[in-house]
C-alpha cells in the first residue's frame, strides 16, 4: 500500500466506502500509559481503596469515548460496538498506570480507532483527576496492541519495531 | 496539596465547585507526538503538498474536540472557549509529527484539559489516516506545555523533571 | 441469574459483549407519569389546544433522547433503532399526564433503556415547560411496560408485583 | 403566573429570552428513587463492596447528563455549570436507592432541569445495570428538592403538598 | 477587510481569539425557505391543523440546532444563548414555507451562525417530513436578515444587493 | 401517497417503523450553493491555494454532520453510513461555490437527509469563514440530486420541474 486511503487522488479527504467489505467479527486492543510521580500514584491508590471512583471514572470515560469515536475522528465510520472493556494496571516502581482497552464489533470495518480513543480518553481522565497535584504528568505509548478480523486478519504490535 | 480534588473525603467523584473562583484570562498549551516510519511520513507530506486536507482534517478534529472536552472528560467544567489553535511540525529525521495546541478562556477554571484533548484527538486523527499503511505508529509525549491565569499563575513543563 | 452482568468478577464495569447473541426483532414499551396540580394541567391543555407545541415538544424530546440513549447510559450498546413513538394521556381527575413510549430494533440486544430514556426525557420536558407555574411537580412510576424478542422472549410488567 | 412561559401567545414553543435577568449564584437540588427487590439491592451492595464501579458508573452518568441537559431538554438554556454532585443512599428495608443531586451556576437562569436530569439519568443507569436480574424495577419520586438564587429566591419541596 | 479571519497568514484554520472583544448584547435573525408543490403544502397544512406536530417538530429541531451550532460549525465559538425563536410563514400561492429565526446572547462574538443553523435545520426537518411525497423540494434563500451588537453594530440584509 | 408518513392519523409525529423494510445498498447525492461577491471568492481561492484549510474545513464539517444527521433531524433513523464524500466546484463568473455530497449505507431506509445535511453544513461552514468580509452571502438551491436503492429505486432531480 503506497497511498493514504483516506484522501482521494486529488488529496481530498473522504470517508472511505466500506459498503462492499464483508461483515466479520472484528476485535482491537489498545494501550496508553500515564506516567507520574510516585506520591501522585499513592494518592490515586488511596482514593481507589476507599471507594473506587477514581478508576471507575476513567473507565466509564473510556467506554463512553469508544462509543463516540466516529463523532470525534472525522473520517471514522459509525459502528454499533458489541462490547467494550477498559482495564488498569498500576505499576508503582515506574510511577505509571497502564490502560488496556478492547473493542468488538460485527462490522465491515475495524475498531482500532475505538480502542485507541478509549485508551486516550481514559488516560486524559486520570490526568484530569490528578492534575492539581502534578500538572507535569505525561501520557506515553498510546498504540494499538492487536487486531483481528477483516481481510488482513491478525496483527500484533511488535515492541521491537523500532518506534 | 495532598488530596485529589476531584473526589470528596469518602472517595466519591464530583465536579468540583469553582463558582467562587475569580474569572481571569486562562491559557493552556499542550503537545502530543505521533511517531511513525519515514515512508509513512513521506506519504503524509505528499498528500499535504497536493491539497492540505490531511493536516487540516487533524487540525479541525483537534479544534472540535477542544470544544467538546467537558462532554468527554467526566469531571471537566463546561467552558466557553474564546480561542483554539492546533499546529503541526513534521520532523523527518525522527519520523514524527509534533502537534502543539493552545486554548484560551475568560473563566473561573483552567483549560488544560481542552488543550490536551485537542492534542490527543489531532494525533488520533493522523493515526486514523495513516493506519492502513502503518498500524504500528505510537503516540508519545502527550503533556501540558504551559499554563497561565488563575490563582497559581504561570506554570511550564520542565523537560528535565524526570518523567 | 445471581450476578450483575454489567460488572465483571472483580467488580469492574464493562459494556457486555453481545456480539454472539442472535439478531431478532426487539420491542420495548415504557411509561412515566408527571403529577401536577389541576390548574397546571389546564394551562397545558389550553396551550395544547391552541397549537400543540407543548406536547409535540415533549414528544420530540423523547424521540431524540431514545436515539441518544447509548450516549447517556454508560454501559448501553449503540443501536440503530428502527422505530420510536411517544404518546400522552392526560388524566384530569388525577392531575397527571401519563407518557407511553415504544422502541423497536432488529438487533442483538434489547431496547428497554431506549424506551425508558424516551419516557423520562419526555416527562422532564413537560416538567420544564410547567415549572415556572408549579415547581413541585413529581415524576412517578417510570418503568418498563413490556418487552419482546431476544432469548428471554415476552415479559410484561405486573402491577401487582409489590413495587 | 397563569401562562406557560415556554410558549408564546399563539402557543408556539420558544427558548425564553433570559438575557436581561440578573446573574446570580443559583443552586438546585433534586432527587429520584429506584425501587427494587431486596435481593437485587444485595447484588448491588455486593458489587459496590468489591470495587465501587456500580455506584460510580451511575454517579458519572448523572454528572455528565447534567452537563448535557440543554442538549436533551429542547427549551433549556445552555449553562456553564460550576459544580455538580450526585449521591446515593441505599435503604435496605424499603428495597430502594435514593439519589440526591446538586447543581450550581452563576447565571441568569436556574439549574433545576440540570439537577433533575442528573437524578433521572443516574436512576436509569442503576436500572440498566440491574435490569437483567429484575426488569420490574420502578423509578419513583423524581422531583426538585430545593432551589436558591434568582428573583424568586429560596424554594423547598413540601412533602405534604398533596402530590 | 481583505483577509479571511478564520485562517492565519499561512492558511491554517483556527478558532479566532475573541477573548478581548467586549461583551455586548448580540442579536441575529436569519431566514430560509422551503419550496414545494402546492399539494405538499396542503398536506402540511392539513397535518398542522390537526395537532401541530409538523411545524412544532421543525421548530424544536431549529432551536436545538442553534444550541449545538458550535458543535457543527468547526470554527464557531461555544456560546450560552439567552434566547432562540423559530417562526414559520406558509405562502400558499408560492408553494413555500418561509422560516425566520432569532438568536440572542450576551457575549463577545455574534450569533449569526446560530440563527442560520436554526433556519437550515428547521428547513431540513420540514423537508424530511414531506420527502416521501415530494423529494424534489428545494431549500432556497438561506441568509442572514439582520444583526445587532458588537463593534460593527447594526447590519441588515439588502434584497437589492444583487446576490 | 397522499399522507405525510412522519405523522400518524392523529397528527402526532413519530419515527416511522422501518424494521420490516429490506436492507439494500442506498445512495443519495445532494447539493447546495453559496453565492457571494467575486472579491470574496478570490479571498477563498487565495486561502485555498496556500494551504487548503478553507475547503478542507467545510468538507470535514459536512462529513461529520452527515454522521450526526439523526441527532439533528428529529425523525431521522440512526444509520451506520458506509461512505461519505463532499466536493466543491468554484464558479468564478457566477461568484458561487457549489457543494456536491454523496452518502452510502446498507440499510432499510435511505440517506437523503444525510446527504442534504452534509451539503447544508458545508455551505454554512463556508459562510462562517467568509462572513466577516461579506455577511450578505446567500445559500441557494439546496436539494437532492439523486437517490438509489430501496423499493422506489432510482430517482433524479429534474431541473425543469418548476420548483
Instruction: Give whichever of A139-143, C37-41, C45-49, F2-6 has the largest mean pLDDT.
Output: A139-143
HSE, side-chain direction, 13 A CA sphere, residue F113: 28
Q: Give the Cα separation of E112 and E74 in Å (integer).
A: 14
Q: Give the Cα separation of F49 and F86 in Å (integer).
A: 18
Q: Which of residues 44-63 of C touch E (CB under 8 A)?
A: 51-53, 56-57, 59-61
Contact B52 F53 (CB under 8 A): yes
Burial of F65 (0-12, 13-18, 19+ CB in 10 A): buried
- Give the closest residue to B2 by CA, choosing from E46, A47, F23, C15: A47
At C68, the pLDDT band (50, 70, 90 cuts) reads very high
Q: Give the Cα separation of C29 and C118 in Å (integer).
A: 10
Taking the CA atoms of E46, E52, E53 and E57 in sequence, report the sign of the dihedral they define.
Answer: positive
Those residues whose C-beta lies under 8 Å from the C-beta of residue E84, and which sit 6 or more positions away, are D14, D15, E62, E63, E66, E67, E101, E102, E103, E104, E114, E118
Q: Which of A59, A60, A106 faces C19 most closely, judged by CB atoms?
A: A106
Q: Looking at beta carbons, which residues of chain E come within 8 Å of F126? A: none
Residues for chain C: how many in total?
A: 163
Q: What angle do CA A19, A21, A24 make, to 5 degrees?
A: 120
**Is C77 contained in some domain?**
yes
Residues B88-114: pLDDT tens digits?
999 888 889 999 999 999 999 999 999
At F4, the pLDDT band (50, 70, 90 cuts) reads confident
pLDDT of residue C65 exceeding 80, the answer is yes
Those residues whose C-beta lies under 8 Å from the C-beta of residue A151, and which sit 6 or more positions away, are A21, A22
User: What total number of domains does chain D contain?
Assistant: 1
Residue F141 has φ and ψ, to the nearest 5°, of: 55, 45
Active site residue D71: no
**Is B4 contained in some domain?**
no
A14 appears as a binding residue in the annotation: no
Q: Looking at beta carbons, which residues of chain D come within 8 Å of A52? A: 51-53, 56
CB–CB of A18/A108 below 8 Å? yes
Chains that touch B (3 or more CB pairs under 8 A): A, D, E, F
Name beta bridge partners: B15.
Answer: D84
Report the binding-site residues of F for substrate. 75-77, 113-114
Interface contacts C/E by beta carbons within 8 Å? 24
pLDDT at position B20 is 93
CB–CB of F66/F118 below 8 Å? yes
Name beta bridge partners: F90.
Answer: F97
CB–CB of C87/C22 below 8 Å? no
pLDDT of residue E117 exceeding 70, the answer is yes
Q: Give the Cα separation of E76 and A126 in Å (integer).
A: 29
Question: What is residue F61's three-state secondary structure?
Answer: helix
CB–CB of D134/D34 below 8 Å? no
* Lowest-pLDDT choice from E6-10, E115-119, F61-65, F127-131: E6-10
Question: What is residue A108's three-state secondary structure?
Answer: coil
Q: Which of residues 72-111 of F touch C (CB under 8 A)?
A: 74-75, 77-80, 107-108
pLDDT at position A2 is 60
Strand bridging mode C155-156 / D24-35 = unpaired
- Residue D18, C-alpha cell as written in the block: 433570559
At B152, the pLDDT band (50, 70, 90 cuts) reads confident
At B160, the pLDDT band (50, 70, 90 cuts) reads low
Q: Looking at beta carbons, which residues of chain D come within 8 Å of A51? A: 52, 56
Nearest residue on chain C to D14, judged by CA atoms?
C53
Q: Looking at beta carbons, which residues of chain D come within 8 Å of C139? A: 32, 120, 142-143
- Residue E57, C-alpha cell as written in the block: 417538530
Which residue has cell 430560509? E32
Q: What is the DSSP string of D91-114?
A: ETTTTEEEEEEEEEEEESS--HHH
Residues A29-62: pLDDT tens digits?
999 999 999 889 988 888 877 667 889 999 999 9
B73 vs B12, higher pLDDT:
B73
- Give the closest residue to E69 by CA, choosing from A105, F72, B22: F72
ipTM score for this prediction: 0.96
Q: What is the DSSP string of B54-119?
A: HHHHHHHHHHHHHHTHHHHSTTPPP---SEEEEEEEEETTTTEEEEEEEEEEEESS--HHHHHHHH
**Interchain contact E15–B (C-beta under 8 A):** yes
**Is A162 contained in some domain?**
no
Average pLDDT over residues D58-87: 97
Those residues whose C-beta lies under 8 Å from the C-beta of residue E42, and which sit 6 or more positions away, are none
Best of C46, C52, C63 to substitute, by most chain E Cβ atoms within 10 angstroms, is C52
For E152-157, the CB contacts below 8 A with 24+ separation are: E155/F135, E157/F136
User: What distances in angstroms separate CA D90 from CA A51, D32, D86, D96, F22, one per listed residue?
Assistant: 15, 12, 13, 6, 48
Q: Looking at beta carbons, which residues of chain A come within 8 Å of B43? A: 2-4
Domain that holds residue B72: 24-153
Chain D: nearest CA to B18, how far in angstroms?
Answer: 5
**Is C4 contained in some domain?**
no
Q: What is the CATH number of the domain that holds D123?
A: 3.30.70.640
Q: Give the Cα separation of B62 and A72 in Å (integer).
A: 9
E69 appears as a binding residue in the annotation: no
At D162, the pLDDT band (50, 70, 90 cuts) reads very low
- Give the closest residue to F32 by CA, choosing from E141, E68, B53, E100: E141
pLDDT at position F111 is 97
pLDDT at position C51 is 67
**Is B52 contained in some domain?**
yes
Percentage of residues of chain D with pLDDT beyond 90: 72
Burial of C48 (0-12, 13-18, 19+ CB in 10 A): buried
At D161, the pLDDT band (50, 70, 90 cuts) reads low
CB–CB of A137/A44 below 8 Å? no
**Is A8 contained in some domain?**
no
User: What distances in angstroms separate CA B103 from CA C102, C109, D91, E76, F12, one per listed residue?
Assistant: 43, 41, 45, 14, 45
Chain E: nearest CA to F64, how far in angstroms?
Answer: 8
Q: Give the Cα separation of E121 and E62 in Å (integer).
A: 5
- Give the closest residue to A141 by CA, choosing from A91, A84, A76: A91
Average pLDDT over residues D107-128: 97
pLDDT at position C159 is 74
Contact B19 D82 (CB under 8 A): yes
**Is B7 contained in some domain?**
no
Those residues whose C-beta lies under 8 Å from the C-beta of residue A78, and which sit 6 or more positions away, are A70, C78, F67, F78, F79, F80, F81
| Strand residues in C36-137 grouped as ranges (E) | 83-91, 96-107
Chain E: nearest CA to B85, how far in angstroms?
Answer: 5
At C153, the pLDDT band (50, 70, 90 cuts) reads confident
Contact D56 B15 (CB under 8 A): no
Q: Which of B52, B61, B64 faces F52 most closely, judged by CB atoms?
A: B52
- Give the closest residue to A64 by CA, choosing from D41, C77, D117: C77
User: What distances in angstroms separate CA E37 from CA A47, B82, E98, E135, one per listed residue?
Assistant: 65, 45, 14, 10
pLDDT at position A135 is 95
Residue B113 has φ and ψ, to the nearest 5°, of: -65, -35
pLDDT at position C162 is 42
Contact D11 E52 (CB under 8 A): yes
R_g of chain A, CA atoms, integer Å:
17
B113 appears as a binding residue in the annotation: yes
Contact D53 A57 (CB under 8 A): no
E117 vs A48, higher pLDDT:
E117
Chain C: nearest CA to F128, how far in angstroms?
Answer: 27
Q: Looking at beta carbons, which residues of chain C come within 8 Å of E65? A: none
Residues B6-64: pLDDT tens digits?
988 888 999 999 999 999 999 999 999 999 998 899 888 888 776 678 899 999 999 99
Chain E: nearest CA to B137, how far in angstroms?
Answer: 25
Burial of B160 (0-12, 13-18, 19+ CB in 10 A): exposed
pLDDT of residue D134 exceeding 50, the answer is yes
Residues for chain A: how many in total?
A: 163
Percentage of residues of chain B with pLDDT beyond 70: 94
Report the binding-site residues of C for substrate. 75-77, 113-114
Q: Looking at beta carbons, which residues of chain F come within 8 Å of E4? A: 43-44, 47, 54, 129-130, 132-133
Question: What is residue D70's three-state secondary structure?
Answer: helix
Contact B43 A13 (CB under 8 A): no
CB–CB of B112/B144 below 8 Å? yes
Residues for chain D: how many in total?
A: 163
Q: Give the Cα separation of C15 and A67 in Å (integer).
A: 10
Chain A: nearest CA to D93, how far in angstroms?
Answer: 23
CB–CB of E142/E124 below 8 Å? no
Those residues whose C-beta lies under 8 Å from the C-beta of residue D133, and which sit 6 or more positions away, are C1, C2, C4, D39, D40, D43
At C2, the pLDDT band (50, 70, 90 cuts) reads low
pLDDT at position D7 is 87
* Lowest-pLDDT choice from A130-144, B48-62, F74-88: B48-62
Average pLDDT over residues C65-70: 98
pLDDT of residue C29 exceeding 80, the answer is yes
Contact D51 A56 (CB under 8 A): yes
Average pLDDT over residues C137-163: 87
- Residue E129, C-alpha cell as written in the block: 417530513
E159 vs F115, higher pLDDT:
F115
pLDDT of residue D163 exceeding 80, the answer is no
pLDDT of residue F161 exceeding 70, the answer is no
CB–CB of F84/F103 below 8 Å? yes
Amino acid at each position: 500500500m503506497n497511498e493514504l486511503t483516506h484522501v482521494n487522488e486529488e488529496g481530498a479527504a473522504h470517508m472511505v466506502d466500506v459498503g462492499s467489505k464483508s461483515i466479520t467479527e472484528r476485535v482491537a486492543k489498545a494501550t496508553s500509559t500515564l506516567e507520574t510521580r510516585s506520591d501522585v500514584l499513592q494518592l490515586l491508590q488511596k482514593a481507589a481503596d476507599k471507594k473506587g471512583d477514581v478508576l471507575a471514572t476513567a473507565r466509564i470515560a473510556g467506554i463512553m469515548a469508544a462509543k463516540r469515536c466516529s463523532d470525534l475522528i472525522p473520517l471514522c465510520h459509525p459502528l454499533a460496538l458489541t462490547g467494550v472493556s477498559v482495564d488498569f494496571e498500576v505499576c508503582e516502581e515506574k510511577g505509571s498506570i497502564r490502560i488496556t482497552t478492547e473493542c468488538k464489533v460485527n462490522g465491515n470495518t475495524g475498531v482500532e480507532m475505538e480502542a485507541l480513543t478509549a485508551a486516550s480518553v481514559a488516560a486524559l481522565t486520570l490526568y484530569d483527576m490528578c492534575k492539581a497535584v502534578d500538572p507535569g504528568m505525561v501520557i506515553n505509548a498510546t498504540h494499538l496492541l492487536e487486531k483481528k478480523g477483516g481481510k488482513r486478519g491478525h496483527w500484533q504490535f511488535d515492541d521491537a519495531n523500532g518506534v
